[in-house]
Structure 1
Amino acid sequence: MTLDDLRVFAAVCRAGSLSAAARDLSCTQSAVSQHVKRLEREVGLSLLERHTRGVVPTSAGHTLNAAVTEGLGSIDHALRRLDEAARAEGGSVRVTTGATTIRHFMAAAVVDFRRQFPRASLEFQTETSSRGCFDALAAGRADLAWITLGPTDRAIEQHPVVEIPWALAVSASDPLAAKARVEPADLQDARLIGLPQNSTSRLQLGAWLAEAGIRPVFDTSVTDWDTAILLAELGLGLAVVPALPAWSGPGHPDLRLIPIPALPVLTAGWAVRRWDALFPLARAFAEAVAHHCGKQTVRE
């Protein structure tokens, strides 16, 4: 078997079909199939189950894919470190995160990083969940992932950077807008705008509300906090969200962010394969973001 065989197999497992993997790899479906067949002959086991809508790994396929993903990620990471060493400060940093992270947590750090390392590039990849970020790290497609920190069974290091209190986003015309603070009991039977059920912040919020005996109804689902807050500002519902500074102040006269001090704070920060193995450019960017998040916390 070759490294190309293993890379193609991992791409098939990730894409869920031979044709989708072929598109991702810019090759023919026949070529993808040949790589998989060669692996199956080599190990003497079937690695994929064919279904009408694509393929899924067999038990043996899952075992191989987990090892391949981890191994290729380590190889790619090592090759990139060698490339960075050869090009000094002219390399790149690949960051995977949610759609609104740059606006709220990284804008100032991006400016400082570009000023300090003008020859370096930043590559941002959007994921909709922490699981997707972990997959990108494990596969070597990202150096850093900015996530909502929470329990995980993945071999990933998590480093907290900023704690964000929760708030209730409501339209200024809503009766709750007059409150100085919101208690969990105020959310009983409330119809809320929420993030997808598998997101870390939604899972943590649901668990904390359940501990208080509160079971609100999430009847509107959005993919990011900014959309939830915007819909609340427009009077289309209520949203329990992190109190993001960009939404505070005179720029949003029709919005109220009312503190919910009874809820534990949400912690956001970096996830990496190994912090001590980060190459210098990635570490510099991670530290720049942490520095500016610290300044932001002081201002608030």
Structure 2
Amino acid sequence: MDLRQLRYFTAIVEQGSFSKAATKLRVAQPALSQHLRHMEDELGVPLLHRGTRGVIPTEAGERLLARARSILAEFAELRDSVRGVSAAPGGEVRIGLPGTVSEQFSVPLIEAARERYPAVRIRIAEAMSGFVLDWLRRGEVDLAVIYSTSDPKGLGIHHVLTEELCLFGAPSLNAVAAPAGGTVSLTEAAGLDLILPGQGHGLRDQIDEAALGVHATINPAIEIESYSQIKRLAERGLGYGILPRMAVSAQARAGIFQTWGIDRPALHRKVYLAYSTERPMPAAARAIGQLSWEILRGLVADETWTATLGEDGDRPALYG
């Protein structure tokens, strides 16, 4: 078994099919299949389940995947160490982002990276924060922006910013007594027809926990996971939503939504830049992590992102 086979196997799993992996690697699909058979013969166990919807790793394949990612990361770090800091970083950097973060952050990051690190390729994957965190722990992404830090073991986590959650709705609705731009209590918000993610979603859990503290009950009129669909339903007048103010600021400026702050208690959400401390970090990932930190803070400083800067200062351990 060699590094090439480990790269091939990792690509097959991450792409979910031999054909997609072959395209990504620019390798003939029969050659990938042959390498996989040789690996299974050498190890004496099946590594992949093959089905109509693609391939997934077996239990043995999962173990190999974890070790393969670690070995490939260490190999990339070795090359970076030997070349020294004077060499321009290069290679692929995978970053996981929640959808609302990606809306504001992806384009500035890609533009800045292309200018500063032209040899680095950025691959962005979007999902809810909990899924992004799982990807980070499994080594499927190199960097992540997340909301929850309930279990920070094995992670480097840096508080970038804190954003406000607000109530919003179409101007045609008139169930809120406070004037637009004012504030409502969470108890008042709980009595409205709300459009929220379902239980188990990080944002919903935060709202439920805050409501419990003031003896209020959240019974949404509509439950849906997608932030974009929450906004579409709210725009049609089917209820009120609670999202980060940044996520609805453009629609508020356009007059599509009215917004209210929430107090008693105020609702805020912390945003963190995260990476694994259990795997070596290649120079390219470290460079993009530093750039991500700078861009996220810059979006707050120039008021593109309605938020306050986090508590971790200007240069987190990521720069070490």
* TM-score tier after normalising by the smaller chain length: 0.7 to 0.9
Measured against aligned partners, the alpha-carbon deviations of 1:21-79 in whole angstroms (never above 9, x if no partner) come to: 33443434432222222222222222223444443322222211122223323434554
SS of the equivalent of 2:7 reads: helix
Which of 293, 296, 301 is residue 289 of structure 1 equivalent to? Answer: 296
SS of the equivalent of 1:175 reads: coil
How many angstroms apart in 2 are the aligned matches of 1:6 and 1:89? 22
Query: In structure 1, what residue type is equivalent to 2:22?
Result: A
Residue equivalent to 2:230: 228
- Matches for 1:4-83 after TM superposition, within 5 Å: 4-76=4-76, 79=79
How many angstroms apart in 2 are the aligned matches of 1:192 and 1:98? 22
Residue equivalent to 1:214: 217
Residue equivalent to 1:170: 169
CA RMSD of aligned residues (A): 4.1
Query: In structure 2, what residue type is equivalent to 1:243?
Result: R
Residue equivalent to 2:128: 129
How far off is 1:239 after superposition?
A: 0.9
Query: In structure 2, what residue type is equivalent to 1:201?
Result: L
How far off is 1:106 after superposition?
A: 7.7
Measured against aligned partners, the alpha-carbon deviations of 1:138-191 in whole angstroms (never above 9, x if no partner) come to: 64754x322323335773322111112221111122223432433333354754
For the 8 Å contact 1:192–1:239, the answer to whether it is kept is yes
Q: Using a 3 Å threshold, how does the CA distance of structure 1 residues 237 and 147 change in structure 2: closer, same or farther? A: same
Identical counterparts, % of pairs: 23
Q: How many residues align?
A: 294
SS of the equivalent of 2:260 reads: strand
Q: Using a 3 Å threshold, how does the CA distance of structure 1 residues 241 and 78 change in structure 2: closer, same or farther? A: farther
Query: In structure 1, what residue type is equivalent to 2:173?
Result: D
Q: Using a 3 Å threshold, how does the CA distance of structure 1 residues 16 and 96 change in structure 2: closer, same or farther? A: closer
- Matches for 1:130-169 after TM superposition, within 5 Å: 130=129, 131-132=131-132, 135=135, 139=139, 142=142, 144-152=143-151, 155-169=154-168
Residue equivalent to 2:249: 247
Query: In structure 2, what residue type is equivalent to 1:265?
Result: H
How far off is 1:128 after superposition?
A: 1.7
How far off is 1:268 after superposition?
A: 0.9
How many angstroms apart in 1 are the aligned matches of 2:52 and 2:308? 56
Query: In structure 2, what residue type is equivalent to 1:221?
Result: I
What is the TM-score with the length of structure 2 in the denominator?
0.70
Query: In structure 2, what residue type is equivalent to 1:175?
Result: N
For the 8 Å contact 1:99–1:126, the answer to whether it is kept is no
Q: Using a 3 Å threshold, how does the CA distance of structure 1 residues 150 and 52 change in structure 2: closer, same or farther? A: same
How far off is 1:240 after superposition?
A: 1.0
Measured against aligned partners, the alpha-carbon deviations of 1:214-261 in whole angstroms (never above 9, x if no partner) come to: 23236353533x553454244233211112286179723342221222
How many angstroms apart in 2 are the aligned matches of 1:102 and 1:133? 15
Residue equivalent to 1:267: 270
How many angstroms apart in 2 are the aligned matches of 1:44 and 1:196? 44
SS of the equivalent of 1:205 reads: helix
Residue equivalent to 1:237: 239
How far off is 1:194 after superposition?
A: 3.5
How many angstroms apart in 1 are the aligned matches of 2:57 and 2:301? 44
Residue equivalent to 2:117: 120
The gaps in structure 1 that reach 5 residues or longer are none
What is the TM-score with the length of structure 1 in the denominator?
0.74
How many angstroms apart in 1 are the aligned matches of 2:296 and 2:84? 21
Query: In structure 1, what residue type is equivalent to 2:150?
Result: P
Query: In structure 2, what residue type is equivalent to 1:260?
Result: I
For the 8 Å contact 2:99–2:128, the answer to whether it is kept is no
